[in-house]
Amino acid sequence: MTNKIQLSDSNVSYSQVKETDLLKDNFESSIEEFTTYYHIDCLQDVREKLVRMYLLKLEGKTIGYVTLTMTHIKHNATESIREKQVNGNIPALLIRCLAQLAQFEYNLNIF
């Protein structure tokens, strides 16, 4: 049984990753692709303005991140959209990566 760390407004913060940031911490997700993305590709995506990335930190240590990007849904993608007779594409917000440290996998009920 693992010890649960109490997460609250007082010890958890978030910040948007900027183009000039350097991510030097040892973030490691239980999902290898999220760890690789964090250490290799995310800053390039931020610099190219492909994503907005936010870090979730516990007492200064990164415990998770989320990347957001704009996309669209094709107007003929689903029956319910076709019924509304939407012309063109529908703007959408895509949550691309939602990663967290393995030790927090079942403990991110902050608010």
Per residue in 32-91, pLDDT (tens digit) is 898 899 998 999 999 999 999 999 888 888 888 999 998 887 766 567 766 666 666 778
Residues counted in the chain? 111
Amino acid at 105: E
pLDDT at 108: 46
Structural domains of the chain, ranges and CATH numbers in brackets: 12-104 (3.40.630.30)
19 vs 78 pLDDT, higher one: 19
Q: pLDDT value at position 4?
A: 61
DSSP state, 26?
-
Element spanning 95, H or E: strand 90-100
| pTM for the model | 0.72
Q: What is the mean pLDDT of residues 104-110?
A: 53
pLDDT of 103 over the 80 cut: no
Residue 43: the pLDDT is: 92
Q: Which amino acid is at 22?
A: L
**DSSP string of 32-91?**
HHHHHIIIIIHHHHHHTTS-EEEEEEETTEEEEEEEEEEEEE-TTSSHHHHHTT--SPEE
Higher pLDDT, 21 or 67: 67
Taking the CA atoms of the chain, what radius of gyration do you get in angstroms? 17
For 32, 53, 60, the CA distances from 99, given in Å and listed in that order, are 10, 11, 17
